[in-house]
């Protein structure tokens, strides 16, 4: 296997790992300055950075394939977690309730996450490639524009599908803007790492 393929394989592995970590972390809520968010927010933006690197070096088709691999891995994770929940716990083991609360799938939340992931990641791949083809701007521009819009789409779809009718509309609006501001700040910080990733992949 060539060095180029090895690097693509490494990035794909990291992408899948981060997706699974982000969805597991999402079971924890934390609070900053009165705003509540899921812990998955610290990991999920990394996935857009990785697909942007893959898109810039290997092209749109490879990046979209990685998105589908991540989607399949998510489904497998949910199924395996659910099987683990269903297994009869040993009588002396006290952790079943905690295990279920962390890893037990809530269908509406899982479904919202899956739909938001697939649409936002596909949009990110498409827009990044389109900007690269048609606009004479640098990597920083296509990275940030594609990521910013993708994060906005992801948050809108996830919060809408997961919490519409459950939380007041005003709370959803507050959560939405809190999410996208936090994600945009992280996206701005990842730009230097996108440049480093592209340079590493092109060697």
Model confidence at 14, pLDDT cuts 50, 70, 90, reads very high
Q: Answer yes or no: are the C-beta atoms of 52 and 146 closer than 8 Å.
A: yes
Q: Which residues pair with 38 in a beta bridge?
A: 29
Helix H or strand E encompassing 38: strand 35-38
pLDDT at 128 over 90: yes
Ordered structural domains, the chain, with CATH: 3-202 (1.10.1760)
Q: Answer yes or no: are the C-beta atoms of 54 and 132 closer than 8 Å.
A: no
pLDDT at residue 171 in the model: 80
Distance of CA 64 to the CA centre of its chain: 14
pLDDT at 18 over 70: yes
Q: What is the dihedral of CA 126, 132, 134, 140, to 10 degrees?
A: 110
pLDDT at residue 39 in the model: 81
Report CA-CA distances (Å) from 138 to 129, 135, 168, 191. 12, 9, 41, 11
pLDDT at residue 34 in the model: 76
Average pLDDT, the chain: 87
Smallest Cα–Cα separation from 110: which of 87, 76, 84, 152?
76
pLDDT at residue 105 in the model: 64
Model confidence at 51, pLDDT cuts 50, 70, 90, reads very high
pLDDT at 36 over 70: yes
Q: What is the dihedral of CA 30, 147, 61, 47, to 10 degrees?
A: -30
- Other beta carbons less than 10 A from residue 23's beta carbon: 24
pLDDT at residue 1 in the model: 55
CA distance 3 to 76: 29
């Amino acid at each position: 296997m060539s060095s180029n393929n090895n690097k693509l394989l490494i990035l794909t592995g990291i992408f899948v790992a981060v997706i699974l970590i982000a969805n597991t972390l999402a079971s924890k809520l934390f609070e900053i300055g009165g705003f509540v968010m899921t812990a998955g927010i610290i990991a999920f933006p990394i996935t857009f950075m990785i697909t942007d690197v893959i898109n810039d070096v290997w092209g749109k088709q490879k990046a979209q394939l990685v998105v589908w691999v991540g989607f399949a891995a998510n489904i497998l994770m949910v199924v395996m977690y659910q099987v683990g929940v269903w297994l009869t716990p040993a009588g002396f083991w006290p952790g079943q309730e905690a295990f279920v609360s962390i890893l037990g799938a809530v269908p509406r939340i899982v479904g919202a996450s899956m739909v938001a992931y697939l649409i936002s990641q596909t949009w990110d791949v498409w827009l990044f490639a389109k900007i690269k083809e048609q606009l004479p701007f640098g990597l920083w521009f296509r990275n940030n524009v594609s990521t910013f819009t993708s994060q906005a789409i992801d948050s809108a779809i996830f919060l809408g599908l997961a919490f519409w009718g459950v939380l007041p509309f005003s709370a959803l609006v507050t959560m939405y803007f809190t999410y996208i501001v936090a994600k945009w700040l992280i996206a701005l910080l990842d730009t230097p790492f996108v440049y480093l990733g592209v340079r590493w992949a092109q060697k």
